[in-house]
């Protein structure tokens, strides 16, 4: 276990009152999502990983009602009970989500979603609550008076959520929500990585509005950690040959500079002053200390220049999204 003085330093999460560490542990893998991550995670392994997240140097953990039909939250809730409650100052985030069976995302579903999350987590409030994957439903319907976004804002007003955010993949849709000014935080995934720089306008817009920016899936589902030889998938889908070639070039550049590819992938995000925190998924306890170590590897400026040259040749419209 780590003592309090071994915690990573925190920084403000945008204009919120929340503080966050530069890394956040992603709770999707610990709930077991083999379709995305390629392996089953038994319940006790997931709980052990959540325990390591709660007691380790990283002071933020992200999950969702939609991850493995709530199993991620159940395992995190079990870990929270084992440590006697959510640690003081710890930033736990979860997300309200559409009904996964019917696709319905109305006000009633938003209320059911948060009620289920709180029950599974064993909490009466969460520091940060996101609207999850709103691109799956109609913008006007989610934004209508009394709809899911109004429910989210009400939850913040009542203190059930400390701050609220919007989390999703489709950049055009997420930008529409950001421009409403209703949200405190934006979470983007798979679109601000070594090989996909398409979230640049969204990151810049959100930062200019004083929002907290959280960046997820910087390993592209694993391939930017293992390299093209260890995976043929990016963003949970088969990667095109051109992308695999680009990642291979990046691996070579990293090897020439003596830097692990995963360290460059993580630090591409953590070195960006606009990014408050970078989410790294974990399904085993040791992954947490490994991520912290990779985030502190010295990376020479020349490597960033080499990686930028490769990235400039990647057409983001051809990438799995």
d(CA 240, CA 102): 32
Beta strand residue intervals within 65-174, DSSP E: 91-96, 126-132, 161-168
Q: pLDDT (tens digit, 9 = 90+) per residue, 33-83?
A: 666 666 788 999 999 999 999 999 999 999 999 999 999 999 999 999 999
CATH topology (fold) of 4-318:
TIM Barrel (3.20.20)
Look up tokens 């701050």; give the residue.
163
Whether 227 shows a pLDDT value over 80: the answer reads yes
The set of residues, in sequence order, having a beta carbon less than 8 Å from that of 261 and lying 6+ positions away, is: 224, 225, 227, 247, 250, 251, 254
Examine the pLDDT at 3 and tell me if it is beyond 60: no
Spatial separation of the C-alpha atoms in residues 58 and 52, rounded to whole Å:
9
Which DSSP letter does residue 29 get?
G
Q: Give SS3 for 149.
A: helix
CA distance 81 to 123: 10
d(C-alpha 3, C-alpha 48), whole Å: 18
Say which DSSP state 14 is in: T
Question: Please, which pLDDT band fits residue 317 given cuts at 50, 70 and 90?
Answer: confident
Residue 1: predicted pLDDT? 43
For residues 10, 13, 15, 17, the Cα torsion angle rounded to the nearest 10 degrees is: -60
For the entire predicted model, the pTM comes to 0.95
Which tokens sit at 42? 């038994």
Which pLDDT score, from 0 to 100, does residue 40 have? 83
Mean pLDDT of 151-170: 98
Neighbours of 233 (CB within 10 A): 17
Query: Which whole-number Å values give the CA distances from 289 to 7, 175, 193, 263, in the listed order?
Result: 11, 34, 21, 13
How many CA atoms lie less than 13 Å away from 42 in the CB half-sphere?
A: 2
Confidence of residue 294 (pLDDT cuts 50, 70, 90): very high
User: Quick one: pLDDT at residue 252?
Assistant: 97
CA distances from 185 to 45, 109, 215, 288 (A): 30, 22, 11, 24
Mean pLDDT computed over 242-252:
96
Contact 24, 277 (CB under 8 A): yes
- Residue 276 C-alpha from the chain's centroid: 11
Tens digits of residue pLDDT in 73-123: 999 999 999 999 999 999 999 999 999 999 999 999 999 999 999 999 999
Answer yes or no: is pLDDT of 26 > 60. yes
Picking from 129, 131, 155, the residue whose alpha carbon sits closest to that of residue 143 is 131
Cα gap 169→189, rounded to integer Å: 6
């Amino acid at each position: 276990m780590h003592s309090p003085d071994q915690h990573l330093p925190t920084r403000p999460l945008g204009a919120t009152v929340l503080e966050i560490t530069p890394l956040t542990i992603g709770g999707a893998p610990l709930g077991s999502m083999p379709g995305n991550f390629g392996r089953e995670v038994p319940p006790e392994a997931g709980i052990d990983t959540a325990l390591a997240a709660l007691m380790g140097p990283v002071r933020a953990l992200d999950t969702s009602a939609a991850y493995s039909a709530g199993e991620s939250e159940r395992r995190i809730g079990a870990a929270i009970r084992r440590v006697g409650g959510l640690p003081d100052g710890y930033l736990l985030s979860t997300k309200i989500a559409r009904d996964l069976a019917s696709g319905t995302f109305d006000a009633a579903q938003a209320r059911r979603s948060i009620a289920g999350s709180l029950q599974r987590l064993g909490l009466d409030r969460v520091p940060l609550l996101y609207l999850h994957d709103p691109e799956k439903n109609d913008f006007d319907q989610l934004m209508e008076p009394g709809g899911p976004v109004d429910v989210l804002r009400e939850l913040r007003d009542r203190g059930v959520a400390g701050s609220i955010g919007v989390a999703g993949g489709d950049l055009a849709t997420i930008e529409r929500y950001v421009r409403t000014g209703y949200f405190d935080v934006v979470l983007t995934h798979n679109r601000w990585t070594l090989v996909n720089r398409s979230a640049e306008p969204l990151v810049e817009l959100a930062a200019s509005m004083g929002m907290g920016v959280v960046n997820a899936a910087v390993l592209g589902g694993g391939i930017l950690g293992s390299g093209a030889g260890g995976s043929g998938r990016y963003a949970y889908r088969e990667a095109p040959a051109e992308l695999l070639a680009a990642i291979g070039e990046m691996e070579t550049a990293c090897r020439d500079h003596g830097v692990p590819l995963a360290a460059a992938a993580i630090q591409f995000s953590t070195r960006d002053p606009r990014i408050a925190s970078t989410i790294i998924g974990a399904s085993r306890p040791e992954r947490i200390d490994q991520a912290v170590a990779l985030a502190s590897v010295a990376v020479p400026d020349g490597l960033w220049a080499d990686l930028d040259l490769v990235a400039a040749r990647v057409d983001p419209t051809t990438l799995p999204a």
